[in-house]
Structure 1
Amino acid sequence: MAVYSMTGYASATVSSLQVAPQQVQAAAVNVELRSVNSRFLDLVLRLPDEYRALEPALREVVSAAFKRGKIELRVSNERGADATQLPPQVEQLQQLSQIQRLVQDSLPKAAPLSVYEALQWCRTSAPPVVLDETVLAAARQSVERLREARGREGDRLVSILMERVERLRALALQAAPVLPQVVARQQQRFLERWNEALVSAGANSAATPQALAERAMAEAAAFALRIDVAEELSRLGAHLDEITRLLRAGGEVGKRLDFLIQELHREANTLGSKSAALELTQISVEMKVAIEQLREQVQNIE
């Protein structure tokens, strides 16, 4: 299943003769759809007065295809020259001939109708063009085209998101070996500090070298526990795995991805707060940048 963006544009124009070939007159209807991102489905209809009754049906057509996004649907008439150039129907001419005979029987001096007058009468006496089904047909075509456009944009978003996910995986791999190095350096500092204290105290010190070394090791162990980010890195990796799974599965994944991005932010912030080395601080900052880039793109996913 594909991943769909919430941004896109589509339009469709349908002639009344395509929907009802028996129509005497021809008219065309254009339906435009514009879509941007939104937390929910927000549908705005711009309809001429004669199509107000179609609003429930149009809402149903759109809501059946989309679940999120601010979508504007605009309907406009496109009655062109083709509507005035249609030849008069035989039935109309026969009816007009009968009317003319009746008039001339009562008014013998009445002038016969000209071709122009006959065409004008046929045009005005033609049954009105019913465009309700034409509007709905144009709306369905436009909805299908918008869905295709949002699907193409969704494919591009997936590529961008997967790049950011791989970047975060690489940063997590960089952070994993840094922690033992930081702990080892700090352990050495503790040992050096206690050795200096032992030398300064000299013979007056009641503590043995072994006891001081053990205390230094205990301090180093406590320090290691305070800065341990293994759990955060593990959860971050699990969130990245879930994001990858959702992007591959497709469908309506925008809200779930948005929640996972929040969790990634939480883990990156914790990583930064526990940072005891410049290397980890830099990795945390780069992670936050990549996560923010993820968040901006996820906002556009349905």
Structure 2
Amino acid sequence: MDIYMAPMEGVTNYVFRKVYIKHFSEVDKFFTPFITPHMKKGFSKSELMELNKDYNKGQYLIPQILTNSVQDFFKLSGEIKQMGYNELNINIGCPSATVTSKGRGSGFLQDTKALDKFFYEIFEKTADIKISIKTRIGFCDYSEWDDLVKVYEKYNFCEIIIHPRLRSDFYKNKVYIPAFIEACKILKSKPVYNGDINTMEDFKILNEKLKENKVDTVMIGRGLVRNPLLPKAIKTGAKITDLRKTVDFLDDIKEEYLSLDFGERNTLFKLKELWGMVLSDEKYSKILKRIRKADTINKYKKHIEELRIS
């Protein structure tokens, strides 16, 4: 089973990925959080770091872009290609209102004619770069998936990463597995499953259906952040958790942010967001509350030491 790390804005960013491969080795492919076109200015500092080949050494890294404009796609893909990348992922899944209101992300799913035209023009003129997509199964109704699959099956995507939820679901409600299975039977492009793999038990239940449909790749987001050893557990078939290893991992993330001059306050904000996912079980509620109240790195370290010896 190949495992991809899901792009999560502000979470699985360049710092997280760099430190992750220092501690763990079971992720096969990484994706940048989505990058948007800037017609009047260049890449932001954070986008340049996401794409920096030297900083991201050791990663099979795919830039993800967010656009519904052919013109913007070619400008952005050309710039990224010059940085040494030969594969791109197009985001057609982001449910954020600020994204969908502009017809981007999962907002693009509302207009299959425009989506079809977008891909037609891209594939007519693109021969030297591989393209994958990350998609949801519709905007607000499962019936939309049939029309979307008819569009996707026309084009030679290297992969189609499917999160079987509607935009209206955001990250709530159950994933709709029948839509994914249906796509596996129709699409000529390689399908990749994404969604609600939070524990080894989740994967075991899902894997029976994946094997039946010859799916050998999954993308994991929150489950991987919560337990960075989950990819190893999946590949070895054994349940593995080790809070001390996670503490060491996040400690190195802290040091990396500080070395990049993020400042104490911004570093604490990033760490608290990560710990909120790692310590999601009720049994950690008290220590998580203390971590969230820490207003200095020294106070934060004190609470982390409590975890290390627990």
Q: Which bracket does the TM-score occupy, shorter chain normalised?
A: under 0.3
Structure-1-length-normalised TM-score: 0.16
Higher relative contact order structure (alpha carbons within 8 Å, sequence separation ≥ 6): 1
